[in-house]
Amino acid sequence: MNRAFVIDTSNSPYSKLHPVSISSVKFTDGLLAERVKVVREVTIPTQYELLEQTQRINNFRRASGKIQGDYFGFFFNDTDVYKWIEAASFSLMSERDEKLEKLLDDVIEEIKLAQDEDGYLDTYFTFDRRKDRWTNLKDMHELYCAGHLIQAGIAHHRATGKRNLLDIAIKFADHIDSVFGPGKREGTSGHPEVEMALVELYRETRNYKYLSLAKFFIDERGKGLVGGELYHIDHKPFRELDEIVGHAVRSLYLNCGATDLFIETGELSLLNALERLWHNFVERKMYITGGAGSRYEGEAFGEEYELPNETAYAETCAAIANFMWNYRMLLASCEGRFGDIMELVLYNGLLSGISLDGKEYFYVNPLADSGKNRRQKWFACACCPPNIARLIASLPGYIYSTSFDGIWVHLYTSNIARIDWDGREIELEVKTRYPWDGLIEFYINTDGEYIIFLRIPNWCKRYSLFINDQEISTNIVNGYVKVERLWKKGDILKLNLIMEPEFIVSNPKVINNIGRVAIKRGPIVYCLEQTDNPFSVCDLEVFTDSLLTSSFEPILGGVVVIKGKGSIVDTNIWKRNLYAPLKDINAKRKEVEFTAIPYFTWANREPGPMEVWIRKV
């Protein structure tokens, strides 16, 4: 069985769905295929060059004694190397590349030489800093670094079959287990990440001590061991949490680890807490783009309904963590609401984090901008670039799942899939222009009786389903329709999700959006960017009773744009006035046509203002 999985719940007793290997799904065309290709051909090679230029790999050479000099950069810079390795490994699962595999082996050798005999590995805590190891779990990210090393080792092993990095990761995990646990040292990570890594290491090795250690670190929260603060999600035990708070990435990574732990143990108190946190997040604290974290201060969640636009933090890593958490909740539940959030964040707040050419990145993703925010080639704190590379490279592993009944389709894109199910291989070919068009065609290439479950997105109000051009009726259960049949090779299953552009309003408690609307079509959130409009987009007031039209245009790599009507006021009236009579303003209005583009594509052309939430007349 091909086991090139993102996460492997194939033997997890409380996982209702099981993963499909990345190497079993070949993207053939469309937006996601293009994004994966760009990451493979552009992003991964340029990121390696940057890792070298910014001394991140040299930190390992320094730790091993190969070169002299001071440690370079932030104390958690090792993780950028590990995430790059994971991205490259996921890419190898999709397409073999001997040159890249050799480069990985060379980097892994540098990591191996930097590891201590007792298994400890963190290039910041070498030489004169050895005495400080494990003395400040709250701030210094040692366990966070370990988590990313473990994930990289697992991904590389699954991609290549080699154990060179996995054995390094296991040696460090064994060291951590010798230090922490019941009857040993108390403590937990100030930046959660190691929890989900340890559960995955248990899945890879079947060594129960790693699962126990993950549970220990989750159980230690709320004891004040890392400050007892909201910021670190240490203010109360995890199972008592009812509001998503603190540093957005840390909070969502912790939820990933807790969901992984539930999938292995079935502990309902964990699931109940996760459900409370999910509803609080999605219903009160999540941006329309799937972005997470409203405050620059602490990169944190704010109060309920605190969702500013121009000062939105919405870190790219937080969007990635949101996607990862909802995938785990989907595996645990078979409920389409989690796939809905995956799709929302993928096409909006996640893809916005990387430029269309694959060379520049956003750390924060605001929903309004004066034109000053531009993607950067790298950052001193470069957590986001390799993180988005590893997520995009792994996308083929998120499209499908299996259960005892059949095959589940969560995300739609053109692909050829050869899926292991019930001891045999089921081949499907999917043709679609999604997310620009809602028609998805499944060409069945394997005879047999099995069920295909298709997610009907929550944005879709009307859909139709056909088998060999004959319409069939179905019911939506937990977000999926069930198509059961004795399939014959050559059967064609067609799903048509009706896509229409529409205005969206937010809960009136979101005071920043009062009197404003956003535009959405299918899973895509739109924005107005200055370069497409011959007037200030900040001055526009849209006519919400007018028709919105959509068309595919050869801009920004080929996207569907939306046009509508609104009005603007002659801004000359404000040159010498702070206030003016309303009748004078209305007398100087003129009607205009506006053009909106997908939010994820903004800031790829010349700088200028951008708005997601637009004033309405």
Indicate the pLDDT class of residue 164, thresholds 50, 70 and 90: very high
Indicate the pLDDT class of residue 11, thresholds 50, 70 and 90: very high
Asked if pLDDT for residue 212 goes beyond 90, the answer is: yes
What's the pLDDT tens digit per position in 38-75?
Answer: 999 999 999 999 999 999 999 999 999 999 999 999 99
Strand order, beta sheet including 463-467: 25-29, 414-421, 424-432, 439-444, 492-497, 463-467, 470-472
At residue 575, the pLDDT reads: 83
Indicate the pLDDT class of residue 580, thresholds 50, 70 and 90: confident
What's the pLDDT tens digit per position in 348-368?
Answer: 999 999 999 999 999 999 999
At residue 403, the pLDDT reads: 97
Which residues fall within 8 angstroms of residue 151, CB to CB, at 6 or more apart?
A: 82, 86, 196, 197, 200
Helix, strand, coil distribution of the chain in percent, nearest 5: 40, 20, 40
**Interval 502-507 mean pLDDT:** 98
The tokens describing 205, both together, are 């090795």
CA 552 – CA 535 distance, rounded (Å) = 23
What's the pLDDT tens digit per position in 536-559?
Answer: 999 999 999 999 999 999 999 999
CATH of 18-398, one of 1.50.10.10, 3.40.462.10, 3.90.1170.50, 3.10.520.10: 1.50.10.10
Asked if pLDDT for residue 571 goes beyond 80, the answer is: no
CB of 338 within 8 A of CB of 460? no
β-sheet bridge partners, residue 496: 439, 464
List, by residue range, all CATH 1.50.10.10 domains of the chain. 18-398
At residue 584, the pLDDT reads: 82
What is the signed CA dihedral for 141, 145, 151, 154, rounded to 10 degrees? -140
What's the pLDDT tens digit per position in 228-254?
Answer: 999 999 999 999 999 999 999 999 999
What's the pLDDT tens digit per position in 471-491?
Answer: 999 999 999 999 999 999 999
Report the SS3 class of residue 141: coil
CB of 524 within 8 A of CB of 348? yes
Indicate the pLDDT class of residue 586, thresholds 50, 70 and 90: confident
Confidence (pTM): 0.98
At residue 324, the pLDDT reads: 98
Indicate the pLDDT class of residue 1, thresholds 50, 70 and 90: low
Give the other-Cβ count within 10 Å of 167's Cβ.
Answer: 15
**Interval 107-113 mean pLDDT:** 98
With residue 60 as reference, give the H or E element that holds it: helix 56-64
HSE, CB side, 13 Å, CA atoms: give it for residue 176: 32
C-alpha distances (whole Å) from 593 to each of 76, 371, 565, 570 are 49, 21, 5, 15
At residue 390, the pLDDT reads: 98
What average pLDDT does the structure give for the chain?
97
With residue 340 as reference, give the H or E element that holds it: helix 336-345
Residue with tokens 């009307």: 462
Considering only CA atoms, which of 457, 451, 452 is closest in space to residue 479? 457
Q: For 559-596, what is the HEC assignment?
A: EEEEEEEEEEECHHHHCCCCCCCHHHHHHCEEEEEEEE
At residue 569, the pLDDT reads: 85
DSSP 296-314: TGGGB--STT---STT---
What's the pLDDT tens digit per position in 305-317?
Answer: 999 999 999 999 9
Indicate the pLDDT class of residue 255, thresholds 50, 70 and 90: very high
DSSP 39-57: IIIIIHHHHHHHHHHTTHH
At residue 570, the pLDDT reads: 79
At residue 585, the pLDDT reads: 79
List, by residue range, all CATH 2.60.40 domains of the chain. 402-497
- Backbone phi, psi, residue 384, to 5°: -70, -45
Classify domain 402-497 by CATH number.
Answer: 2.60.40
**Interval 409-423 mean pLDDT:** 97
